[in-house]
């Protein structure tokens, strides 16, 4: 008689799911918690980039046509005819060209306000930060994620805008009316623009940790960032000559082109086609020359702002130490008592 042992059936194992690569838990929490601000930032970058692409392409057609016909006088006439845009609609190329710069200034203040309020101070007031610290997240790691995630987004977005803005400037600066506008733009848009945005982020975080209240932190961070932005664009002390507070305009290379291709001085015909025909003028060329002190000033300003940003970040971590609970070493009651010699 043979006995058969029952075979135990192993439960079918479900195939292992492959998880897509993505941010870790803390980074994902920051993105999830502040997804509204993330969408607002994405919309700002998209709108600004779209406006710059339009200025780089069809937005400059009317001004370019006027310049090709009458030279700088035509560009001036085009600028003065549409010098009052309403909410980025209408207006001349000259007036719309500076709108992205205005948006950059507003965005840098908004970054500081956001960092001071929703990013840090509100969580301290509501106690969500303290709740996270009681879990597996240390205060230092929590603050590092709060700083790193927005810093990456700010650097990528602002850097993209700055690069595209410089391309538009290089392609169409001959269509801008001379004055303080081109010079201020030339010295204010560059790597220091990205450093200014990062400075606003660090200042907002520091203000929130020091003041621990949303409204005071908002006001303090916004004010500091506004003053930092107001100092930019040819207003830093090292951007002025020691002999004069007034800076000359950017040098311009401007010539008229005859039918034979020769470059001659502009005859000054203004908007008279008959005068241009009499001088055999068929085209014009004009461009702002690169200032030799642009990069020294940009790099100096960038270095100052990054140094201040680093100091603000270090200060934020030092202030954060007072939030960390102090652990006391328990007394060991099992230690044998020392016998005293008689």
pLDDT at position 287 is: 92
Element housing 141 (H / E): helix 139-172
Is the pLDDT at 99 greater than 90, yes or no? yes
Q: Is the pLDDT of residue 297 over 60?
A: yes
Does the pLDDT value for residue 149 go beyond 90?
yes
Q: CA 146: distance to chain centroid? A: 17
Q: Of 154, 34, 149, give the one whose Cα is nearest residue 104.
A: 154
Tokens representing 214? 């949303």
Residue length of the chain: 342
Is the predicted pLDDT of residue 19 greater than 50, yes or no? no
Lowest mean pLDDT among 74-88, 146-160, 175-189: 74-88
Q: E strands within 144-275?
A: 252-258, 263-264
Identify whether the C-beta of residue 183 lies closer than 8 Å to the C-beta of residue 247.
Answer: yes
Three-class SS of residue 336?
coil
> What is d(CA 308, CA 206) in angstroms, rounded to the nearest whole number?
12
- For the segment 309-323, the average pLDDT, to the nearest whole number, is 92
**Mean pLDDT of all residues in the chain?**
84
Q: What is the pLDDT of residues 200-218, one digit of tens each?
A: 999 999 999 999 899 999 9
* Section 147-153 average pLDDT: 96
What φ, ψ does residue 329 adopt, rounded to 5°? -75, 125
């Amino acid at each position: 008689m043979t006995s058969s042992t029952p075979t135990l059936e192993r439960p079918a194992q479900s195939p292992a799911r492959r998880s897509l690569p993505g941010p870790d838990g803390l980074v994902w929490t920051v993105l999830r918690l502040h997804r509204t601000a993330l969408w607002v930032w994405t919309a700002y970058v998209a709108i600004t980039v779209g406006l710059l692409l339009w200025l780089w392409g069809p937005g400059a057609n009317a001004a370019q046509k006027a310049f090709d016909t009458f030279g700088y006088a035509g560009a001036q006439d085009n600028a003065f005819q549409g010098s009052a845009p309403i909410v980025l609609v209408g207006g001349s190329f000259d007036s719309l060209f500076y709108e992205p710069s205005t948006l950059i200034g507003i965005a840098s203040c908004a970054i500081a306000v956001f960092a001071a309020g929703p990013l840090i101070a509100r969580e301290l007031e509501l106690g969500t930060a303290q709740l996270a610290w009681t879990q597996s997240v240390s205060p230092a790691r929590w603050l590092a994620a709060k700083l790193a995630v927005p810093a990456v987004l700010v650097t990528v977005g602002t850097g993209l805008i700055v690069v595209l803005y410089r391309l538009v400037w290089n392609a169409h600066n001959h269509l801008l009316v001379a004055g303080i506008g081109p010079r201020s733009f030339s010295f204010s848009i560059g790597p220091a623009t990205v450093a200014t945005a990062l400075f606003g982020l660090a200042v907002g975080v520091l203000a929130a940790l020091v003041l621990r209240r949303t409204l005071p932190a908002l006001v303090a961070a916004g004010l500091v960032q506004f003053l930092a932005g107001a100092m930019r664009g040819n207003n830093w002390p090292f951007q002025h000559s020691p002999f004069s507070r007034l800076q000359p305009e950017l040098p311009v290379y401007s010539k008229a082109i005859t039918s034979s291709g020769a470059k001659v001085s502009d005859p000054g015909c203004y908007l008279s086609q008959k005068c241009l025909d009499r001088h055999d003028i068929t085209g014009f060329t004009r461009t702002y020359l690169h200032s030799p002190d642009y990069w020294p000033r940009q790099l100096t300003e960038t270095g100052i702002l990054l140094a201040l940003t680093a100091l603000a970040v270090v200060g934020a971590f030092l202030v954060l130490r007072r939030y960390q609970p102090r652990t006391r070493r328990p007394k060991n009651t099992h230690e044998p008592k020392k016998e005293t010699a008689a």
